[in-house]
Amino acid sequence: MSWTQPVLKPMTAVDRDALYRKISRRIVPFLVICFVVAFLDRVNISYAKFQMQQDLGFGDAVYGLAAGVFAIGYVLFEIPSNLLLARYGARRTFVRIMVCWGLVSMAMMFVTEPMHFYVLRILLGVFEAGFYPGLMLYLAYWFPSRHYAKAVSWFIAGSSIAGLIGGPLSGWIMRDMAGVLGLHGWQWMFFLEALPAIFLGAVAYFYVSDSPGSARWLSAEEKAALTRDLAAENHTHANARSDSFRAALRNPIIYIFAAIYFAVNCAAYGLVLWLPSLVHATGVGSVFEVGLLSAIPNVVGAVGIILLCRHSDATGERRWHFLASASIGALALLTLTVTTRSLPLTIIALSVAVIATYSLLPIFWATPHAFLTGSAAAGGLALISSIGQLAGFVSPYVMGLTKAHTASFSLGLSLMAIVLFVGALVMAVVLPWQREAVQAVGDLR
């Protein structure tokens, strides 16, 4: 009996659009929810700060250091975590990460002194390491570059969604749960906001597909079409890519990307971890009101990020979108140095800063995977993220130190603005020059 392999008909442009919509509907919403929970567990100390300072006597310098040491554990374990994802698959990796970070985040309720605070924040970084770069790598398994930035934009918008939900939710828990069972409001906040991570970790084991080949919800024709798209892109970028992790480590463009990512993260972490404090500095006293008002920049930011990244994808232009957004973000940060006595002006400046700064991240992450594949993608993306995540230590700590020594946010905000603008210049000037030097091909604009 002879067997003939069926010939798959090429899909039309409409079919391609339907395919990527189907993929987006299946994997993006669930992973965005996971990312929102991760981001909330990472930054909810910015809301707990006010009550913890009152109950435990922590100052701004202690808070800034605790906010920053998260990055130490994150950086040390990010590359191993991403390499484990490439080896063992996304499903088991995401389960491990989410359950472990949920348990550590819950343990924050037992903090009584600064050392407890520091150790648990480091452990949170250890267990959450690899989640974000793992998501970036995982999306590269499903989306070619022309669809990639749009997919990533939903995750960056997720950080704003976390602020939208987290501010009012954290404020409400700390206000209304204070004293229940003899616990402080901030203790209840850490306990309740950690539960979704553990639950979603269990769900991920049954819901997440490791790769298109193992996705039962894709037909054979859809799998073949997706494979062809990704293979064609791999071939197109072959001259610019490195197929080994060691080669990726020797590739100078990795370190250029890392420097850019560091600059963006300096502004992003400074904003997200000090935004409630900037609102509080205008004279808002209630922790619940601080949470509600802190949600406004995040609402505006979520919408602006998605619209801006869609425009970047539609035009295929990255370079000038990045420079323009970073310049506007730097200007907004500088504006915040003179608006501390005006709540409306502070909210407006924060909203502009959130849109401009957060929208840089999906535009940025749309570019590195064009140069890396295989083990180089797993290790290279994690290396970029690890170096860039050092800003997660530097920025909050510097903000805390400058606030403690000057009783003002102005110096810290000014430093963030300068670093962000310099990073944008590197993206706009140095990166295209390096691309030409290595004769990179593909659409990296």
> pLDDT by residue (tens digit) across 412-427?
999 999 999 999 898 8
Longest Cα–Cα distance of the chain, Å, equals 84
- Provide φ and ψ at 114, rounded to 5°: -55, -40
The count of other CB atoms within 10 Å of the CB of residue 41 is 25
Residue 16 has pLDDT above 70, yes or no: yes
Contacts for 429-432: CB closer than 8 Å, 24+ residues apart = 430/256, 431/253, 431/256, 431/257, 431/260, 431/319, 432/319
Residue 83, SS3?
Answer: helix
Q: What is the mean pLDDT of residues 75-101?
A: 85
Cα end-to-end distance, the chain, whole Å: 53
* pLDDT: which is higher, 211 or 191: 191
Residue 6 has pLDDT above 80, yes or no: no
Average pLDDT in the chain:
82
Tell me the two tokens of residue 157: 């918008």
- Give the pLDDT confidence score for residue 318 in this predicted structure: 72
Q: What is the mean pLDDT of residues 73-84?
A: 81
Residue 1 has pLDDT above 90, yes or no: no
- Provide φ and ψ at 254, rounded to 5°: -60, -40
Please list, in sequence order, all residues whose beta carbon lies within 8 angstroms of the beta carbon of residue 237, skipping any fewer than 6 positions away. 370, 371, 373, 440, 441, 442
Tell me the two tokens of residue 328: 């506007």
Report the C-alpha gap between 109 and 23 in whole angstroms: 38
Q: What are 242's strand-pairing partners?
A: 372
| pLDDT classification of 379: cutoffs 50, 70, 90 | low
- What percentage of residues in the chain have a pLDDT greater than 70? 86
In tens, the pLDDT along 260-315 reads 999 999 998 888 888 888 998 888 878 888 888 988 888 887 777 777 777 776 77
Tell me the two tokens of residue 216: 């039962």
Residue 242, SS3?
Answer: strand
| Domains identified in the chain and CATH numbers | 13-211+224-232+245-437 (1.20.1250.20)
Q: What is residue 368's DSSP assignment?
A: G
Residue 235 has pLDDT above 80, yes or no: no
Q: What is residue 178's DSSP assignment?
A: T
In tens, the pLDDT along 149-189 reads 778 778 777 777 787 788 889 989 999 999 999 999 999 99
* pLDDT: which is higher, 203 or 251: 203
Q: What are 372's strand-pairing partners?
A: 242
Report the C-alpha gap between 81 and 172 in whole angstroms: 35
| Whether the Cβ atoms of residue 193 and residue 169 lie closer than 8 Å to each other | yes
Nearest to 397 by CA among 231, 251, 213, 274: 274
In tens, the pLDDT along 314-357 reads 776 777 788 888 999 999 999 999 988 899 999 999 999 988 88
Tell me the two tokens of residue 240: 């610019």
Nearest to 374 by CA among 258, 202, 238: 238
Q: What is residue 427's DSSP assignment?
A: I
Residue 237 has pLDDT above 60, yes or no: no
- Give the pLDDT confidence score for residue 3 in this predicted structure: 41
Report the C-alpha gap between 95 and 93 in whole angstroms: 5
